[in-house]
Structure 1
Amino acid sequence: MRINEVDETTPVVYLDMDGVLADFFSEWAKLAGIKSGNYKDIPPANVDPTLNKMIGTDFFAKLP
């Protein structure tokens, strides 16, 4: 397959890396209990536990 050919059996994944389409960071902060919505305020000890809360949920499907 060439670079500009489409293989219909291969899924296409689109990523929003700049927060324009979905606001991951604010929702992550809210999940961590940070009322300001600033992910930088999440204490280091809460980062992994909060990320683990997302597993098996519809967190990403419901991002605003």
Structure 2
Amino acid sequence: MSEPGKMNGKAPEGAQRQRRLGNRLIGERLREMYDGVVQESVPDEFLQLLEQAEQAARNEGKTRPEGDA
């Protein structure tokens, strides 16, 4: 049994066009949001946390006994 509004298992051309338009609009909006996030600066607190993590990793490598990986 086929779904209502479909002919031979395919959505009518108008419905397909609507779906493509909706998908395109969603894609455009997602790109706008992504571009906005990418252009934001990294908060100073986050940069400090990264620096602390990198320093801790460097210090851990210095205190690790030879032969351990």
TM bin, normalised by shorter chain, reads under 0.3
With normalisation by structure 1, the TM-score equals 0.25
With normalisation by structure 2, the TM-score equals 0.24
In terms of fraction of residues, the more helix-rich structure is 2
Report which structure shows greater RCO (CA 8 Å, sep ≥6): 1
